[in-house]
Homo-oligomer: A and B are copies of this chain.
Amino acid sequence: MEDIQSYPDFRNIEIQRVGIKDLHLPFYILEKEGGSQGVLANINLSVNLSQNFKGTHLSRFVEILNKWRKKCISSLELERILKETKEKLITKEANIYLKFKYFIKKQAPLSKSESILDYDCEFIGFLNKSNYRFVLGVSVPITALCPCSKVISRFGAHNQRGFIHARVEFSKGFLWIEDLVNLLEEQGSSPVYPLLKRADEKHLTERAYQNAKFVEDILRDAILVLRKNKKILWFQIECEDFESIHNHSTFAYQEEYLRRKNNLKKQ
């Protein structure tokens, strides 16, 4: 049967990325407190394509990924997936993006009621000839209470759900999702919880009121804690507040190269 993909191509264009998108597979991820957690990933896997060939063999991407389904994945395993992809497809580069929800146990501040909260996370891996890089992304819901509204009003202050979206690249070693979430969660006016008793609700309402923060404050405080973490080489962070007095959002954004120079390639 003919293999059209392997035909020569005469347009003389090396393609930067060719691959598959929106494939879904289940994996496991190690939890900080021991054990592992099943996650359901939306996957995007791609390679570069030499100017010599007409096409890529995309079924091989699905084949490689299926071997890892229901297995534990972290930065190391993504590197192995990318290596195998590079070898099987005979390319110079391979990239992977995984998006998934990850659950972390939360204890309500006073009642200690336990529940679990879902965080949208990303694992991003880049492999070229000489270099492997890994980026961890998390989206952390928080409460944000407006300092301006608080100061000018006789009582109350508008507040809303916000998100801290962060992507960080770190050096060899490990950064637990739990630790990164924890770091960022503290930078809102207050964390959010799935399960709160009345005593907890009082506590959090008062905490947020005493800890009023603009989206700019949340971003700056998050930048300070990220800069302090010696493992982090690069970060990109966006804070977003779903304003309760508007039908639009406010946001603040920052990208910093702390301990590395080269650019992170865009998806």
Contacts and interface: CB of A to CB of B under 8 A. Distances in A.
Contacts of A101: 24, 40
Contact of A201 (B16, B214, B217, B245): B245
Nearest to A201: B149
Contacts of A5: 148, 214
A29 interface: no
A23 interface: yes
Interface residues of A, number: 107
A35 B214 CA distance: 40
B220 A15 contact: yes
B247 A194 contact: yes
Contacts of A46: 251, 253
B247 A117 contact: yes
A33 interface: no
Contacts of A9: 220
Tallying the copies of this chain within the complex gives: 4
B153 A209 contact: yes
Contact of A243 (B11, B44, B161, B221): B161
Interface in A3-54: 3-5, 9, 11, 13, 15-26, 37-40, 44, 46, 49, 54
A179 interface: no
A23 B194 contact: yes
A85 interface: no
A43 to B, nearest CB: 8
Interface string A180-204: 0000000000101111111101101
B250 A13 contact: no
A166 interface: no
Interface string A37-80: 11110001010010000111011001100100100000000000
